[in-house]
Amino acid sequence: MILKSIILARGGSKGIPKKNLVEVGGKPLLTYAIDAARDSNANDVWVSTDDKDIMAAAAENGAKVIVRPNDISQDDSKSDEALVHFAKAIDFDVLVFIQPTSPLLEAGDINKGLELMNDYDSVFSVYREHWVPRWSLEVSPLGWNINNRPMRQDKEEVWVENGAFYITTREQLLNSKLRYGGRVGVVEMPLSRSFQIDTYDDLNLINKILK
């Protein structure tokens, strides 16, 4: 079975310019994803990008590079489009899609997901969340009544996607054009390692964690 890993790392970033290359804990953010992929049971590591600096950083850290076409590298482009582009260009049976914004991901998490692929068509990483009262930006309760506030223990716990990684078969990806489909399973990660870097507040938090 051919197991590939792919990291999508566009050059453009609104929240943090050149986010994928910003220094986190003393090294570029992208390298955390490359290291996790390389230490996992996936056969090799690819980076899909439209940015020459990211291409250089990927190659320097031992990853292969596939050039992401400009028309699927826009702010409104979906990651699934780049995954399908990769699947049409590179042969594999199972693909691990790793997001570089999750530097606390470990190879062991990925390997747990790969083991589950014997029983599922797709797997993704999650953390467990108990009920908390949520409000709209207009300060209206979302899914609960202010006059009958639920007790936490009376509400069902849920899985929350943490965005760290997704695993799927090539067949499923090409058929659905989505990162997950068919029989779907999850890999639980602790909340303490489920943070993503999208803003400077996130960046400051992760830097504190990694000290």
Sign of the four-CA dihedral 158, 162, 163, 168: negative
CA distances from 98 to 2, 118, 128, 174, 211 (A): 17, 20, 20, 18, 23
- Residue entry with tokens 């899914």: 143
149 is catalytic: yes
Tokens of 161: 């996607």
Q: Could you say which of 10, 38, 134, 149 is catalytic?
A: 149
The 3-state DSSP class for residue 159 equals: strand
Distance CA 61, CA 49 (A): 15
Q: Give me the active site residues, please.
A: 149
